[in-house]
Amino acid sequence: MRRCDVVVIGGGPAGLSAAAAARATGAGEVLVLERDERLGGILNQCVHGGFGLATLGEELTGPEYAARLEDAARAAGATLRTDATVLGVRPAGEGAAGGPCARPGRRPGAGELEVTLVSPARGLERVAAGAVVLAMGCRERPAGAIGIPGFRPAGVLTAGCAQRLVNCEGLLPGREVVVLGSGDIGLIMARRLTLEGAHVACVAELMPYSSGLKRNVVQCLEDFGIPLLLSHTVTRVLGRRRVEAVEISRVDASAHPVAGTGRIVACDTLLLSVGLLPENELSRAAGVELSPLTRGAVVDDSLMTSVPGVFACGNVLHVHDLADHASLEAARAGAAAAAWARGRATRARGGGVPVEPGRGVRYAVPQRVDPERMPDELVVRLRVDGVYERRSVVARADGREVARRRRDILVPGEMEQVTLRRDALLARGGIGRVTIGLEA
Amino acid sequence: MGRTGERDARALTCIRCPRGCRLTVELGEAGEVAGVRGNACARGASYARAEVAHPVRSVTTTVPVDGSARLRRLPVRTEREVPRERVLDVVRALAGVRAAAPVEIGDVVAEDVAGTGVDVVATARA
Amino acid sequence: MGTGCAHDGIEAAGRGAARCDVAIVGAGVSGCAIARELARLRVSTCVLEAEEDVCCGTSKANSAIVHAGFDAATGSLMARLNVEGSRLMGPLCAELGVDYERVGSLVVCTDPAERGGFDALLACGRENGVEGLRIIEADELRELEPNVSDAAVAALWAPTGAIVNPFQLTVALAEQAAVNGVEFRFRSPVTGVARRAGGAWELDVPGGPLVARVVVNAAGVRADELHNLVCAPGDELAITARRGQYHVLDVTAGQHVRHTVFALPTRLGKGVLVTPTTGGNLLVGPTAEDVGDKDGVDTTADGLAEVERRASLTVRGVPLRERIRTFAGLRAHQPGHDFVIGEVPGAPGFVDCAAIESPGLSAAPAIARMVAGIVRDALGGPAERDRLAPRPAPVPDVARMAPEEWSALVAARPEYGRVVCRCRTVTEGQVVDAIRRPVGARSLDGVKRRVEAGMGRCQGGFCAPRVLEVLARELGRDPREVTLAGPGSEVVAGTVKDTLRGGAS
């Protein structure tokens, strides 16, 4: 069986960044497995700009950013394979009877992991790995999940699916479009569809605020006079074979449609941008503990999951707004995976203390930190649960303040962060937990 | 962006930070910026001045590409920003344009697009 | 298809008209099962379907269960055919390679005052010939079904209750019929029926009339319209579309119950069921609403909420946040609440297979035998064939394959190594083969029903563009012509900038 120090699952911005960092940190063979025919993941269909500012200091489009990351991973010496779908990850030697991994071959060493994949070129294969980095990205919440009443005709599709059709296939999903949800992909697709010849009637958003970046609200909607209907939702889909119209209603403070406020908007397409969910099928099957808050893995300060040697980063860990942030996080995971694979990080799982969301904070990642072994500075990323003005993001160790970051404005659509310093945590002696909340 | 109703003022949303201040830009007789209201910080004022005086945007889209095993559509962008009111013209001007492989990132796909003086370049290899 | 319809230029009135011995109107599970039975005879059979595929009406939108047969009124056709169908279903699915699992069903009582209801059910079930029925008390019930409601006091246990994949079943029946000579014509709604001199029936279908010696009316919620064209005055049939709304939960919730869980009907009405599916999902529903619209498969906020509320009466903690889809189907209900099967009086050779509402799926194998018998008699007892050619082997399901087997398949056909649907692990090879089969897929939904691409938690968000591409390639169509479910449901409207051309400044 082939043996790699680090196997990275997913060749998008997170996977490529993790691979480059793993090599730079001293890993031997680093193998990236990408199921698509091209590397870059979702970046390939993100033809718009806004990438690279935080990592490369210049503004690039998605495909350009993907090319930079691919080149960097290649230059670092990572092996990049496309058209290869990973089917499973598990500790080596487990359950050798049955299942897709039950093939004869050299057994990997103790404490190692085993990755099973399939490709058109080579069929099923197993690869032994010292460490695995999960970087599978996320998927879109479909119409069925939110249960919009009405019919189920052609013309209801997620914004990302439309993005692929438009930007990669050159196909126009519809001519008269309503967008439900003001997530960034929905906003960006409103502009893309307008530029490609469709008319976008409006964007309806359930919440009283947009979940997308303000820049996108202005440059994708306001520039083109596309109305953004806050506190509105689609309450019915009409049309049996193809969408003919949707009913849009106002919602009350608890996000329930208000009877009698519905109005019919003629359209042939309903685009959904109603949330992204980490793509954790492989993680779940591998026994990785998942967080109900992020729907991604529960990780420690090295981004290692509950399965020793398995790390997670990017949108499979928690949904980011900026690919740059996913890249930065992934570099940490890649470096930690390399260290693990080389035997330089052998701490047992379960060390450290929990990092918990406090008032106003929906989630914080990582969920565990070990003051003894953490890096000198650790960036904790978090999302708030509403719109707040003039607050501080405050980290407290057993109630005593250890970090504070003042913010004029905090919105759920934009990820926040706070930096924990190792010396500040150590100065508190043996702590029980770190809580991150919003304070005046 | 839209008119406020007053002849000498314009409303826009600041995008310098997530707060998204609703700005009112008062215009002088020659259309120059006479004042900015609604901004929570100085960055709002500078944004308003730039946006009113000379709003510009990058344009990204795709064109068909022949002879590529990698791509059917070649993503492209304007090499630099164009006046905002020319964005749709740029896309229209690209409606008949095709590219042919091989293409490198940065290769010019259309020169002086729609008379803007700006070239359109490839953003992917094909 | 040598024994399918043959063009016939002999009869004066039928110049250019196609003719066949039997025309079956409707390619739902009943029509396809009947077609397969008739394929055993030396007759030519043609199935006329208004939609673009088999399994497009009631057969695709139901509870996907095989009822044990304890609740149909003793002595009714429903009761007899349900119990017989339930016995036939397991072997039939095994023969056809269709997913079927005898999980057993539970009718749960949550109110001690209602326990008396079991007596009637038990008596009815035994009278109907259902085997293995017994009442189980709370302790055993909780052991059998840990997530049953805390209020549950007892249940009727029916070990012969089962779950089945209705898409696979209908497709498999159609495939086997097709390889044995039955012709399938899609997009062929029957708009008129006339009796010709000599007793044959002439059906108006697009592209010209079809003449058949015998007509089988398996037209689902529209069977009454066809019946009423040929019946004697006063013999009209009135079919009401009875809508049932459902929630489908992700496979992560598929283990929430182990059996099909019904509620004991009470004064407050019939409950909804919670059941695992053969695909590993959890299905919750249905409502029972009479709707005026025979295409009214829309869901409503109230209906979906009602299902959620009623499900919670028998099963605790149904994880509706794991929902991936909602849908509604229509049952063909008639006031007599029994199947209507038989030659229409005064219309010899016109055979109804109508009002096949629940338990129609369960009864389908028995219905097919009964109808085929009637047709055989109407045709004067034609000869039988030596044997029925088997259904072509199902499309390989890589998710269930041994690794060696999968690898060997990829070596022979590399497209079986390219996963296009990540939720259900479906490869490009499976999509290709779903299209290339007899009575093959012609749309995204057709592919979904055959190989489950798009049936998982992302509901096609990932695979739809890929499947669309394969469909266009395999069918030799422009991508703009590819549909979700037949004409009028094109997936895309055009190409980018197609309205901007010539507008360059």
C78 located within any domain: yes
pLDDT score of A170 more than 70: yes
Of A47, A67, A169, the CB nearest to B72: A169
Full domain range(s) for residue B72? 60-122
Q: Can you tell me the mean pLDDT for A26-54?
A: 95
Q: What is the pLDDT at residue B7?
A: 56
pLDDT score of A41 more than 50: yes
Token representation of residue C475: 């069918």
Q: Which residues of A188-197 are buried (b: 16+ CB within 10 A; e: fewer)?
A: bbbbbbbbbb
C492 located within any domain: no
Q: Can you tell me the mean pLDDT for A421-440?
A: 91
Distance from CA of A190 to the nearest CA of C (A): 14
Say how many domains are in chain B. Answer: 2
Q: What is the pLDDT at residue A100?
A: 40
User: Is some CB atom of chain B closer than 8 A to the CB atom of C499?
Assistant: no
User: Is some CB atom of chain C closer than 8 A to the CB atom of A256?
Assistant: no
Q: Can you tell me the mean pLDDT for C395-419?
A: 96
Distance from CA of B18 to the nearest CA of C (A): 29
Whether B38 and B69 share a structural domain:
no
C504/B93 CB distance under 8 A: yes
To the nearest whole percent, how much of chain A has pLDDT over 90? 86
- At B115, which CATH number? 3.10.530.10
The span from the CA of C471 to the CA of C481, in Å, is: 10
Whether C95 and C169 share a structural domain:
yes
Q: Can you tell me the mean pLDDT for C381-404?
A: 94
Of A47, A218, A389, the CB nearest to B13: A218
Distance from CA of A211 to the nearest CA of B (A): 11
**Chain A: touching chains (3 or more CB pairs < 8 Å):** B, C
- What pLDDT digit, counting tens, does each position of C124-155 carry? 999 999 999 999 999 999 999 999 999 999 99
Q: Are A200 and A177 in contact (CB under 8 A)?
A: yes
Whether B48 and B67 share a structural domain:
no
Domain boundaries, chain A: 2-138+277-347, 142-274, 357-439
C495 located within any domain: no
**Coil, strand, or helix at residue B84?**
helix
User: Is some CB atom of chain C closer than 8 A to the CB atom of B92?
Assistant: yes
Beta partners for residue A400, in sequence order: A397
Average pLDDT, chain B: 90
- The domain boundary, picked from B10, B30, B54, lies at B54
C249 located within any domain: yes
User: How confident is residue A348, by pLDDT bands cut at 50, 70 and 90?
Assistant: low
Whether B101 and B67 share a structural domain:
yes
C321 located within any domain: yes
Residue C306: closest CA among C291, C294, C320: C320
A47/B64 CB distance under 8 A: no
C505/B89 CB distance under 8 A: yes
Q: Are C371 and C377 in contact (CB under 8 A)?
A: no
All residues of chain B having their beta carbon less than 8 Å from the beta carbon of residue C492 are: none
A167/B18 CB distance under 8 A: no
The span from the CA of C205 to the CA of B22, in Å, is: 62
Q: Can you tell me the mean pLDDT for A167-172?
A: 98
B75/A49 CB distance under 8 A: no
Of B14, B19, B77, the CB nearest to A408: B19
The span from the CA of A113 to the CA of A132, in Å, is: 7
Token representation of residue A418: 């706070």
Distance from CA of C132 to the nearest CA of A (A): 35
B94/C497 CB distance under 8 A: yes
C194 located within any domain: yes
Beta partners for residue B3, in sequence order: B10
Q: What is the pLDDT at residue A344?
A: 64
- What pLDDT digit, counting tens, does each position of C291-337 carry? 999 999 999 999 999 999 999 999 999 999 999 999 999 999 999 99
Token representation of residue C473: 């390639």
The class of domain A2-138+277-347 in CATH terms is alpha beta
Say how many domains are in chain C. Answer: 3
Whether C171 and C196 share a structural domain:
yes
User: Is some CB atom of chain C closer than 8 A to the CB atom of A154?
Assistant: yes
Q: Are A362 and A384 in contact (CB under 8 A)?
A: yes
Whether C152 and C168 share a structural domain:
no
Whether C425 and C388 share a structural domain:
no
Whether B21 and B68 share a structural domain:
no
C480/A171 CB distance under 8 A: yes
Average pLDDT, chain A: 93
Whether B31 and B46 share a structural domain:
yes
- The domain boundary, picked from B11, B37, B54, lies at B54
Full domain range(s) for residue C270? 105-159+240-328
Whether C277 and C370 share a structural domain:
no
All residues of chain B having their beta carbon less than 8 Å from the beta carbon of residue C501 are: 95-96
Whether C55 and C172 share a structural domain:
yes
pLDDT score of C6 more than 80: no
Q: Measured in whole angstroms, how far is the alpha carbon of residue A1 from the centre of its chain?
A: 31
Whether B31 and B76 share a structural domain:
no
All residues of chain C having their beta carbon less than 8 Å from the beta carbon of residue A257 are: 301
- What pLDDT digit, counting tens, does each position of A105-137 carry? 344 556 789 999 999 999 999 999 999 999 999
- What pLDDT digit, counting tens, does each position of A60-85 carry? 999 999 999 999 999 999 999 999 99
The span from the CA of C134 to the CA of C105, in Å, is: 11
Residue A242: closest CA among A264, A267, A262: A267
Of B15, B72, B73, the CB nearest to A215: B15
**Chain B: touching chains (3 or more CB pairs < 8 Å):** A, C
Whether B82 and B49 share a structural domain:
no
Whether C37 and C149 share a structural domain:
no
Mutate to test the interface with A, among C457, C473, C478 (most CBs of A within 10 A): C457
Q: Are A288 and A295 in contact (CB under 8 A)?
A: no
- At C53, which CATH number? 3.50.50.60
C504/B62 CB distance under 8 A: no
pLDDT score of C269 more than 80: no
User: Is some CB atom of chain C closer than 8 A to the CB atom of A289?
Assistant: no
Q: Measured in whole angstroms, how far is the alpha carbon of residue C203 from the centre of its chain?
A: 24
Distance from CA of B83 to the nearest CA of C (A): 15
Whether B49 and B81 share a structural domain:
no
Q: Can you tell me the mean pLDDT for C80-99?
A: 98
pLDDT score of B22 more than 90: no
User: How confident is residue A349, by pLDDT bands cut at 50, 70 and 90?
Assistant: low
B62/C501 CB distance under 8 A: no
The class of domain A142-274 in CATH terms is alpha beta
C496/A196 CB distance under 8 A: yes
All residues of chain B having their beta carbon less than 8 Å from the beta carbon of residue C468 are: none
Distance from CA of C58 to the nearest CA of B (A): 40
Q: Which one is catalytic: C7, C67, C259, C337?
A: C67
Residue numbers of A between 213 and 242 with CB closer than 8 Å to C: 235-237, 240-242
Size of interface A-B (CB pairs under 8 A): 89
The span from the CA of C260 to the CA of C106, in Å, is: 6
Q: If you measure CA to CA, which chain C residue comes closest to B93?
A: C504
The span from the CA of C166 to the CA of C158, in Å, is: 21
Whether C153 and C249 share a structural domain:
yes
Q: If you measure CA to CA, which chain B residue comes closest to C501?
A: B95
A27's CB contacts (< 8 A; 6+ apart) are A5, A6, A130, A337, A338, A341, A342
- The neighbour count for residue A362, using CB atoms within 10 Å, is 13
All residues of chain C having their beta carbon less than 8 Å from the beta carbon of residue A174 are: 492-493
B72/A414 CB distance under 8 A: no
**Chain C: touching chains (3 or more CB pairs < 8 Å):** A, B
User: How confident is residue A98, by pLDDT bands cut at 50, 70 and 90?
Assistant: very low
Average pLDDT, chain C: 94
All residues of chain C having their beta carbon less than 8 Å from the beta carbon of residue B73 are: 496
Q: Are A188 and A271 in contact (CB under 8 A)?
A: no
A44/B64 CB distance under 8 A: no
The span from the CA of A105 to the CA of A1, in Å, is: 6
Instruction: Examine the residue annotation and report whether C256 is marked as an active-site residue of this protein.
Output: no
Whether C279 and C137 share a structural domain:
yes
Whether C318 and C360 share a structural domain:
no
Which of A98-102, A361-365, C98-102, C252-256 is the least confident region? Answer: A98-102
pLDDT score of C504 more than 50: no
Q: What is the pLDDT at residue C443?
A: 98
Whether C309 and C224 share a structural domain:
no
C485/A154 CB distance under 8 A: yes
Whether B75 and B102 share a structural domain:
yes
C147's CB contacts (< 8 A; 6+ apart) are C256, C257, C315, C316, C317
Q: Are B113 and B119 in contact (CB under 8 A)?
A: yes
pLDDT score of C18 more than 50: yes
A175/C460 CB distance under 8 A: no
- At C122, which CATH number? 3.30.9.10
Whether C287 and C420 share a structural domain:
no
Distance from CA of B37 to the nearest CA of C (A): 38
